[in-house]
Amino acid sequence: MFDLKEHPHKRHNPLTGEWVLVSPHRTKRPWQGQVEKLPPDERPAYDPKCYLCPGNERAGGHINPPYSSTFVFTNDFSALLEATPGGAVDEAGLLRAVSESGVCKVVCFSPAHNLTVAEMDLPGMRAVVDTWVEEYCQLSARRDIAYVEIFENRGEMMGCSNPHPHCQIWASSSLPNEVLKEDASQWGWFERAGRTLLADYLALELSRGERIVCANDSFVALVPFWALWPYEVLVVSRRPFSGMDSMTGEERDCLAAILREVATRYDNLFEVSFPYTMGFHQMPGGAHPHWHFHAHYYPPLLRSATVRKFMVGYEMLATPQRDITAEAAAERLRALPRTHYKLRG
């Protein structure tokens, strides 16, 4: 009898159409690596050498204002530029290129250098959500912008260059790869079902409960059935809306709260500041009824503060693979306290 808890199998990601190989039997193999703790990261509230702290100098001689809440600026090393000439190259359908223009910004979450999302207070996190919405509305209203990606790289392991709490916004003139896949899948589902893919998925997960991590009045955090990273999380809005521009005030508060709770549970897992890449997938306004607002968390850690999952070998050449099941990961995250370990005695 085929058992998802015992037997190797492939799971389907309905958002991307891709598969992940799950090998639950391998979690029984002995682990001989170290389980080490990192020294506590003690950072000052203000670092004179940080390019994101208030009053400090950035690349190109820009001076940050003495900001007291959030602070947004255009990335001094933007990957996308506004004044990019349009054009395309196509040689025999083999050498293809298309001009891409856009805007890159950096959003500081707080003037405090030593905070993280997990350690921010709720009004502070709500201010971050309000800043995202404001930037999202402005950028997505532009005729030269087709897609706005808001994302946070957290921790050196994820290539984050600075521990000061911040995220990036890249707004581009075309739809990026991941968004194209999700657009097609969500459209296909909506056309058939008349409901969003994630509304139907969320209803199923809520009735099962086994992959739910935490929830509030407006959002649910779960380890998706098709999770690829060990402790991957998907945050889905209970109400189907396509973009953060449609959120009510209460939904903004709930988004702030659930993002903080996910970050707190992550930090509590190995009692370290947990590295991850997270970001939103969304479309603005009412013109995309098949789109359902959500956030993905892709954290690399597997077993301890230092043992990470690598996407190498078979995963680069064939299909991504995981050992611990999504259900087991959700159970661990669900069992963790909602209070940050640094605040416990």
Q: Does residue 168 bind ligand H2U (CB under 6 A)?
A: yes
Structure-derived torsion over alpha carbons of residues 297, 151, 109, 135, reported in degrees to the nearest 10: -140
User: Residue 179: how many CB atoms within 10 A of its CB?
Assistant: 18
Q: Tokens representing 287?
A: 């013109």
Would you put residue 158 in left (φ > 0), alpha (ψ -120 to 50) or beta? alpha
Q: Does residue 56 bind ligand H2U (CB under 6 A)?
A: no
Stretch of 45-53, 179-187, 242-250, 256-264 contacting Zn ion, by CB under 5 A: 179-187
Binding site partner of 281, from ligand H2U, Zn ion, none, Cβ cut-off 5-8 A by kind: Zn ion
Q: Does residue 162 bind ligand H2U (CB under 6 A)?
A: yes
**Window 71 to 110, contacts with Zn ion (CB under 5 A):** none
Residues 6+ apart with CB under 8 A from 79: 104, 170
x-or-dash pattern for ligand H2U, window 90-129, by CB under 6 A?
----------------x-----------------------
Q: Tokens representing 95?
A: 């050498």
Q: Tokens representing 343?
A: 């605040």
From the list 289, 271, 291, the residue with the least C-alpha distance to 281 is: 291
Q: Does residue 181 bind ligand H2U (CB under 6 A)?
A: no
User: Residue 324: how many CB atoms within 10 A of its CB?
Assistant: 20
**Catalytic hit among 7, 113, 164, 166:** 166
Distance from C-alpha of 33 to C-alpha of 1, rounded to nearest angstrom: 33
Binding site partner of 153, from ligand H2U, Zn ion, none, Cβ cut-off 5-8 A by kind: ligand H2U
CB contact at 8 A, 299 and 201: no
Answer yes or no: 166 catalytic. Answer: yes
Q: Compute the chain's Rg from CA coordinates.
A: 21
Q: How far is the CB of 163 from ligand H2U (least distance, A)?
A: 9
Stretch of 51-59, 95-103, 112-120, 327-335 contacting ligand H2U, by CB under 6 A: 51-59
Q: Does residue 281 bind Zn ion (CB under 5 A)?
A: yes
Stretch of 33-41, 74-82, 215-223, 263-271 contacting ligand H2U, by CB under 6 A: 74-82
Q: Does residue 77 bind ligand H2U (CB under 6 A)?
A: yes
Residues 6+ apart with CB under 8 A from 261: 214, 216, 221, 338
Q: Does residue 49 bind ligand H2U (CB under 6 A)?
A: no
Q: How far is the CB of 114 from Zn ion (least distance, A)?
A: 31
Nearer to ligand H2U, 230 or 275 (CB): 275
Q: How far is the CB of 265 from ligand H2U (least distance, A)?
A: 22
Q: Which residue is nearest to Zn ion (CB)?
A: 281
Q: Does residue 51 bind ligand H2U (CB under 6 A)?
A: yes
C-alpha distance from residue 302 to each of 102, 182, 203, 317, 323 (Å): 35, 26, 29, 21, 10
What residues line the site for Zn ion (CB under 5 A)?
A: 182, 281
Active site residues: 166
